Amino acid sequence: MKIENSDVVIIGSGVAGLICALTLSKKFKIILLTKKKLKDSNSYLAQGGISVCRGKEDREEYIEDTLIAGYYENDKIAVEILVDESEEAVKTLIENGVKFTGDKKGLFYTREGGHRKFRVLYCEDQTGKYIMESLIEKILERDNIQIIEDCEFLDIIERENICLGVLAKKEEIFAIKSRFTVLATGGLGGIYKNTTNFSHIKGDGVAVAIRHNIELKDISYIQIHPTTLYTKENKRKFLISESVRGEGAILLNQKLERFTDELKPRDKVTKAILDEMKKDNSEYEWLDFSTIKLDVKERFPNIYKNLIENNIDPLKDKVPVVPAQHYTMGGIKVDMNSKTSMKNLYAIGEVACTGVHGKNRLASNSLLESVVFGKRAAYSIIDENNISVYNNIKDDIFENIADKIILTDEKENKNIIEKRIKEDEFEKNR
């Protein structure tokens, strides 16, 4: 079996994984694996934007908005880190070529559900796409980063609770021997029938963590997005950003009556829609764009284009919407430097549970979390590099490793994840 060598291996190419790779010193040899192509991550699909603290006077309100959305089950220290490092995170993105929407007077801010003020930066209505394209451009300029696309992550290689590398497959199975391993594999959306996520993102990192007894946290906390485009086809649901409601769109039932405050946190809006659907005996409710004062085509060009392609003109028609699985608040438990319970193994992005979100995520905090804690993982790796115990561990585990491989499939991964979700739900409801 072929064995590659690296200082750091990163599994996943969303914002968290790319930021981590770019933050690491160029002296590190980095291998970045991704299941499909570089852009095929849920980060790319993010529409709304990225939250940022609007100065010292906004700090306590932003923290409180995040805690309220999370039902105060958040880790407050993690929330404070997120808020306090948000301006620096945005600066990092701008330095890496991201151009947020604005004019000569400055950047534009919008408001989304659960935020008491306008503190969300955006790039039209495809913020994730523009961030990802800028970061990918920078990644491709780096000689120290080896990218392996269309590569399946199979397992980590560990001994005595120390991560030594990973097993992967691109045509053939191979191993990567690495001083540090970073899981940035995304959430669990692909195991659900109705989801806004890419179907190939199926909790690979969480499944590996379960098999190796790595600590998880709040894995049953799954967020449902209130407004995705209703279609009869069984395919990935097109998300209609919360910022549409932030700019004034309203929800109507089948009698065309408004039935909720559209800017409540996501879980409350979702519940209101589901309750109304039950009353109406309907598979969807309506989102009305006519109350938006801005130019819909200019503010939401991608959403407008997608709706037109589905024979819906939001300037004239009501838009049918239905809630769908969107985000995993829980995941692999990490500390404030993104370290897992296994030595030399990190987790960042949606696969990780930093404690920032609690029971329910505040809108537009996910991209911010990916940047803040992706950077923190990189800084920790730089600090740990000089004191890593890796070289003190005999790596004879790599000898004849092909004989030790126990292959699992996606169905088995789904089963063990669903089992752990049920166990977590049981514990929380005791």
Cα separation, 40 vs 253, in Å, equals 35
- Pick from 158, 168, 135, 163: nearest CA to 31: 168
Q: Which helix (H) or strand (E) holds 292?
A: none
Residue 201 token pair = 């993102």
Catalytic residue among 111, 179, 245, 266: 266
Q: CB-hemisphere CA count at 13 Å for 150?
A: 3
Backbone angles phi, psi at 323, to 5 degrees: -65, 150
Two tokens, residue 238? 């097109």
Q: Are 127 and 98 in contact (CB under 8 A)?
A: no
- Measured CA to CA, the distance from residue 50 to residue 91 in angstroms comes to 12
Tokens (6 digits) for 273: 């829609």
Q: Is 266 a catalytic residue?
A: yes
DSSP for 260-272, please give it: S-TTS-HHHHHHH
Q: Quote the tokens at residue 53.
A: 């603290």
Residue type, 184: A
Angle at 40 between CA 191 and CA 223, to 5 degrees: 40
For the chain, give percent helix, strand, coil, nearest 5: 35, 20, 40
Find, among 180, 178, 154, 177, the residue nearest to 343 by Cα.
180
Token code pair at residue 58: 């906004």
Q: Name the residues annotated as catalytic.
A: 266
